[in-house]
Amino acid sequence: MIKAYLIDLDGTLYHGRHRIDGADKLIQTLNEQAVPYLFVTNNSSRTPQGVADHLNEMGIPAEASQVCTSAVSAAEYVAEESPGARVACIGEAGLLQAIDEAGLQRTEEKPEYVIQGIDREFSYQKLTKALRWINDGAKSILTNPDLQLPSDDGLTPGAGTIGAAIEAATGVSPTVIGKPSSIIMKSAIDRLNLRADEVAVIGDNMRTDIAAGAAAGCETLLVLTGVTTKENMDTHISATKIRPDHVFDDLHKLIEWLSQQASQASKKG
């Protein structure tokens, strides 16, 4: 039985600054049913509060405590493995804050870890530093492997593109935290204090959201509102070797299904 949901953002609830039809109703439905959920995003540039603000601006109610970012998950991963570790950061505000709040020490002198996310001020100098830190033994952590990011005026390079440059320079493959890695999902599941089989993942991207959910042992709900479409779904299934548990044409179809699930649960109860 599904007791909670992990919900993707970009492509599932919104496109950039534009809310996808039914996104507000989806969250309203979950709130009315008193079903727990978390927003799970590969975005490492925004803080959880920044993500919540972005959602609220579009009329989608959200609180910072409901947001799980790849930055927070990356910092928590390092803090659990090595509390108070010395960390070099290549990233933006969301990652910097996450590192500080996890009790890690930010430094550029002999770091034990290099945590890298999206950095729109990335430079040859930063690449050189990362090369030397990692060659000197620092562990490489990548918040998320997204190679491209949508923006209001077209695609831009993502954190994964920067990570690819660092990996090419060092020859060291990073530990990837964000989707399709199961690490970010397990972090969110732990916050819900549930088992993976009690949680379902809602997302638009077969190669990230659904792949991560399947890897973590969650039920998977694909909505055809973003990256994956009816036309390319079979290609994505072939590439990932994963088939979603449920597929919905839009968020309204998902809401209908949620209502049916709630009705069945109340009858059993």
**Enzyme catalytic residues:** 8, 10
Distance CA 102, CA 87 (A): 11
Which CA distances in Å does 265 have to 17, 35, 259? 35, 12, 10
**Distance, first Cα to last Cα, the chain:** 12
Q: Taking the CA of residue 63 as centre, how many other CA atoms within 13 Å lie in the half-sphere pointing to its CB?
A: 5
Q: Which residues contact 157 (CB under 8 A, 6 or more apart)?
A: 147, 148, 149
3-class DSSP state of 9:
coil
The answer to whether 77 touches 141, Cβ cutoff 8 Å, is yes
The answer to whether the peptide bond before residue 180 is cis (omega within 30 degrees of 0) is yes
Distance CA 231, CA 241 (A): 17
